[in-house]
Structure 1
């Protein structure tokens, strides 16, 4: 645990971008001004705080103000899905400065996918440096990455991921640490999407669920302002919850009756193909719905009802304020969303559902990298992590 009034705590205060005087910080932390001055000196030496040109008048001599120094540091972010890799560079406030997306199947394996990721991150980093105005962007403070499968929180390694052949136990964190020499933070893609959506659209909401409906189905759950990971990092694996609507349908996980076997994007495509409407992917389903195909619209509505049945139980357990539906299928999300709402509002008790918002994601294609960057920023600048880093190397945090 960090000490009250530590350098890490002071930086947490300054990260909102508002300059503050030593007096302000002493009042906020309950520490003496001499202690605050010592902490500010450490943060200034580490390049994380700067004295601003803005001085505040307090009735006497103007007092110097101090601000978070985000000018010459960047964060790298990666969002991997079943069939895409989005890479980005952000500033220390989580704003994306440059990004790129490649169509690459996660099933190609870690060597292929991570090789592509490293190439893209290197190129984006160089691009941002070349376009920098003022001090050159030099230091990569952290890397955040979301993976489409369960992630062990202690190691950052994928754990028996059903759609990621060859990735089980792969040391994603080590590969990125060796390239960039900074802390790396790894989580499930639905979790980083939840963080991105909350930052972009619901910054004041403390209880939110992000449900990703794409090739499969997963959820990121924020409760009391914190992500829920569970004992093995498998919290939010909605796709493999039993669904009565799925009956005895076989699931790729080996069980029968999983929600994903009926309502996942690939399963919807397979159902349509069985009906004589060729659809080989979630993208084909989206195209059919846009073309007005009634069978595909009906299939999405039924999938939404099944997802809503599961989310009604989640509403009773977690009592979220907002449920966000995202993922590739939600590009034409009205039939799906209508089914989800129908089931939730008919099954959940009024106490839990009367103020519940069920809506489509607003963070768009960059929601994953926005969430990954914010995950990395919040982690590397947490008081605990920062104080430990400053103790190890006072003038070089990272």
Structure 2
């Protein structure tokens, strides 16, 4: 007799989009839909209505619980999310989901969800893994001795590692200066390019509004852009070196749109500027792409079913 599959309804609230899917206990996405994220006041309503229409009655009935991944701080006691990506307020999504569907809900920070999902793939090879995402911002999560650090708040705020050397004053989204994210994230790269070129006296009238434009110019042979990306590589190397000093992972998994679109330009200088200081871990590009958080949230939820760390 074939064993009945176990499934969890999983939600990932990203910076731009919301993903809602049905994921099995092996991390396989059975079905998924992607939605444009609305204003904070409409997020809960959109998610609730989508769950009702996207899943069949049988799928809703058989789902063991609901897992939610979101940037920022999650509070399973109160069933709330708080993040700059969903506005200044607090979103009681866990509470709303529990009341609407009469199912337990587990909330997890999205970067930690991604770290846990990647760890679930490689747990037979290591108990120590770090996940890094370089996208609009820089974030990540760490599993040390088989345990996820800071399962609710993102205790491994790696994007806010200080990487300053030269006399730059680049403001991070958090309000402080010279964090890794301020220099090397998708949002930070064009701002840093402007300051870097100005300080070097080599602007040549060039200005960029997106990181991808800089990468494309470098790929086409732009010498100025190539020099700039070497500097980005130094900062990425400092960030990874700090992670090595803090956690000494055996495996580092890297994801995020900036990396996926520019693997060679990101990884080669990052590795070169890290191996000067530390023995390199195994470095892997996630195979889950943009679904890394939604898969990770499901795997974390499955592994924590017995502990019942649910939103109230």
SS at match of 2:63: strand
Larger deviation, residues 210-219 vs 275-284: 275-284
Q: Paired residue for 2:91?
A: 170
Q: Indicate whether 1:198 and 2:198 are aligned.
A: no
After superposition, the Cα gap between the structure-2 partners of 1:244 and 1:372, relative to the gap in structure 1 and judged at 3 Å, is same
Tell whether the 8 Å contact from 2:112 to 2:154 is kept in structure 1 after alignment: no
Task: Tell me which residue corresponds to 1:40.
Answer: none
Relative distance call for 1:179 and 1:296 in structure 2 (3 A) is: farther
Q: 1:165 to 1:325 in 2, by over 3 A?
A: same
Q: Secondary structure of the residue that 1:345 maps to in structure 2?
A: coil
1:111 aligns with 2:41: yes
Q: CA deviation at 1:292?
A: 6.0
- State the partner residue of 1:28: none
Change (3 A) 1:271 1:124: same
Aligned 8 A contact 2:133 2:254 in 1: yes
Determine the C-alpha separation between the residues in 1 that align with 2:220 and 2:96: 43
Give the total of aligned pairs: 300
User: Under a length normalisation based on structure 2, what TM-score does the superposition of the two structures give?
Assistant: 0.82
Stretches of structure 1 lacking an aligned partner (at least 5 in a row): 1-51, 54-68, 130-135, 389-398
* TM-score computed with the length of structure 1 as normaliser: 0.66
Aligned residue runs from structure 1 range 132-211, under 5 A: 138-152=61-75, 154-159=77-82, 161-167=83-89, 169-200=90-121, 204-211=125-132
Instruction: Measure the CA separation in 2 of the matches of 1:189 and 1:259.
Output: 19
Q: Is the 8 A contact 2:130 2:252 kept in 1?
A: yes
Taking a change above 3 Å as real, the CA distance of residues 359 and 187 of structure 1, as seen in their structure-2 partners, is same
* CA shift for structure 1 position 339: 2.4
Distance 1:81 1:92 in 2: 22
Flag as ranges the 4+ runs of structure 1 deviating above 6 A. none
**Paired position in structure 2 for 1:57:** none
Cα distance in 1 for partners of 2:225, 2:131 equals 24
- What per-residue deviation string (whole Å, max 9, x for no partner) do you get for residues 79-123 of structure 1? 22211222211124332100122343xxx5433233333333333
Q: Deviations over 1:116-160 (max 9, x none)?
A: 33333333322x95xxxxxx773221111111223345445334x
Q: What does residue 198 of structure 2 align with?
A: none
State the distance in 2 between where 1:182 and 1:315 align: 40
Shift in CA distance, 214/297, structure 1 to aligned 2, threshold 3 Å: farther
Deviation per CA, 1:50-80, whole angstroms, max 9, x where unpaired? Answer: xx58xxxxxxxxxxxxxxx534x53111222
Deviation at 1:291, TM superposition (A): 5.8
Cα distance in structure 2, aligned partners of 1:94 and 1:124 = 19
| CA distance, structure 1, for counterparts of residue 215 and residue 12 of structure 2 | 21
The answer (yes or no) to whether the contact 2:76–2:94 under 8 Å persists in 1 is no
Give the Å deviation of 1:360.
2.0
- Matched-pair contact (CA < 8 Å) for 1:151–1:157: yes
Q: Cα RMSD between the aligned structures?
A: 3.0
Match for residue 377 of structure 1 among 302, 309, 312 = 302
